Amino acid sequence: MKVEQDLERKFNDQCAVFGVYGHPEAANLTYLGLYSLQHRGQESSGIVTSDGSSHFIEVGMGLVQDIFNQEKLSHLHGDLAIGHNRYSTTGESLLKNAQPLAVDYSLGSLAIAHNGNLVNAVELRNRLEADGSIFRSTMDTEVIIHLIARAESKNFVSRVVEALLQVRGAYSLLLLTEQEMVAVRDPHGFRPLAMGNLDGAHVFASETCAFDLIGAKYVRDVEPGEMVVASPQGIKSYFPFQKKNRAQCVFEFIYFARPDSTVFGQPVYSIRKRMGMELAKEHPVDADLVIAVPDSGVPAALGYAEESRIKFDMGMIRNHYVGRTFIEPSQQIRHFGVKIKLNPVRGLIEGKRVVVVDDSIVRGTTCRKIIEMIRLAGAKEVHMRISSPPTTSPCYYGIDTPTKGELIASSKSVEEIRKYLGCETLAYLSRDRMLDIFGKNRDDFCTACFTGNYPVLMPGMDMLQPNLFETVT
Ligand code: AMP
């Protein structure tokens, strides 16, 4: 059935955006911003600048440091810049899908950088193509460009509103014309977008770690449903959309964002550590040592250790220089893919009852190999602790998750997963405990990957999952 195939499709729009309005070193600063947001996307990267009358563009495949150099940056003229990192996927990895997308249309030059995923992009694209639009990429983001180009308003900002009123799903966007920059977050606020200031210039970033690198000051978040317009007339804020319930992605805190960032106004590191502390309260165990699966599991493991008063140590070491591909010897090495990244420290683990903390289990394949490696390093017992609830449902709003069938917790109980992983005990942080950490803001988050309750439905989803509803308040 077509609808089911669409729902099972892998979505690949986990990305970073960065923008500078009104700084003579806009391109260099954007390069640095993208550099610090590399964890949000490694497939491709790009910068578009404006000198007030023309756009300058540089996009490429690969890492920020490999794409840009002094010479390329010197061609990116002007005080205005937006940049983008795109996430690496198993799907199409093509230059035509690199962002920012830059076009010329009836009002002039336009560039767009998008983090998120539009759930009705296929519908809209079919309609636009039937009306004669020609698409040059396979990205949902291009739909927005066509909707802006076809909008009726004379004024650019009104055109953006007209376009965005037609799209549904997740978007944190930066748009650039010759003289204006628009920063906008969808009404649910799925993905983050922060605003800052550097020597009087306005800066925008997916995460505040980008501000830290360039010495900018974090001012506030672009609010869900807010559109911030920076132009020669100054900076203005609009709320042009119907208000919706907040549905900020809780997975940003669990895994995705850098721990030194502030997202959705909250410091990631301390939230992640609290998740580990709550996990220790909810699922204590008698053990000798707490170790983390580095790097993402470290803050939660420290929280677990602090709360349980069990010693933490770096029982597993990550190789930070692992590239995309590695040449495996012809005589295959068992668990080579995981081993090349992670290796247990035998001297710490041998003879111990070990608590291993990781942030999440997706397919369970990595986790299983890690547990086996820890056993081979001499652990007496292995107790797996996960600082988030079981991931049962794919994300349609911009986190790269596999299809439902591949998510181990979609079909197996915790006990079945434990048996598959081969550990003495396995426990996850409950959704309630996790949300308790956010206090009065506990209802501001999307937890669809743990519940299957999607705040914005995919087309056809109501037929497949009649218990779900769209939040339109
Ligand atoms: P596995 O045991 O194969 O399910 O892999 C679990 C590991 O994947 C954990 O260490 C997570 O930190 C990591 N992880 C979680 N979500 C993602 C994601 N969206 N993309 C890449 N890795 C992830």
Note the pLDDT of residue 424. 98
Note the pLDDT of residue 333. 83
pLDDT tens digits, residue range 176-217?
A: 999 999 999 999 999 999 999 999 999 999 999 999 999 999
**Whether 37 and 151 share a structural domain:** yes
pLDDT band at 12 (very low <50, low <70, confident <90, very high): very low
Ligand 1 mean position, distance from CA 360 (Å): 6
Q: What is the dihedral of CA 199, 200, 204, 207, to 10 degrees?
A: 40
Range of the domain at 85: 3-249
**Whether 171 and 203 share a structural domain:** yes
**Whether 383 and 314 share a structural domain:** yes
User: What does the alpha-carbon distance between residue 94 and residue 78 come to, in Å, rounded to a whole number?
Assistant: 28
pLDDT tens digits, residue range 388-444?
A: 999 999 999 988 888 999 999 999 999 999 999 999 999 999 999 999 999 999 999
pLDDT tens digits, residue range 117-154?
A: 999 999 999 999 999 999 998 889 999 999 999 999 99
Assigned domain for 190 exists: yes
Q: Check residue 36 and report its DSSP letter.
A: H
**Domain boundary, last residue among 217, 249, 281:** 249
User: What does the alpha-carbon distance between residue 102 and residue 113 come to, in Å, rounded to a whole number?
Assistant: 9
Mutate to test the pocket of ligand 1, among 298, 360, 370, 400 (most ligand atoms within 8 A of CB): 360
pLDDT tens digits, residue range 414-423?
A: 999 999 999 9
Note the pLDDT of residue 329. 80
End-to-end CA distance of the chain: 32
**Whether 200 and 277 share a structural domain:** no
Note the pLDDT of residue 471. 31
**Whether 188 and 310 share a structural domain:** no
What phi and psi values does residue 392 have, to the nearest 5 degrees? Answer: -110, -15
Asked if 49 and 76 count as a contact pair (C-beta separation under 8 A), the reply is yes
pLDDT band at 13 (very low <50, low <70, confident <90, very high): low
Total-model pTM: 0.93
Note the pLDDT of residue 324. 63
User: What does the alpha-carbon distance between residue 471 and residue 186 come to, in Å, rounded to a whole number?
Assistant: 13
Note the pLDDT of residue 400. 84
Query: Does 360 sit in the ligand 1 pocket, CB within 6 Å?
Result: yes
pLDDT band at 325 (very low <50, low <70, confident <90, very high): low
Ligand 1 mean position, distance from CA 96 (Å): 27
Query: Does 12 sit in the ligand 1 pocket, CB within 6 Å?
Result: no
Ligand 1 mean position, distance from CA 407 (Å): 11
Q: Based on the residue annotation, tell me whether 423 is a catalytic residue of this protein.
A: no
Q: Is residue 106's pLDDT more than 80?
A: yes
Assigned domain for 465 exists: no
pLDDT band at 88 (very low <50, low <70, confident <90, very high): low
Note the pLDDT of residue 25. 98
Ligand 1 atom closest to Cα of residue 363 = 4
Note the pLDDT of residue 91. 43
Which residues, 6+ apart, have CB-to-CB distance to 153 below 8 Å?
A: 159, 161, 162
pLDDT band at 470 (very low <50, low <70, confident <90, very high): very low
**Whether 226 and 337 share a structural domain:** no
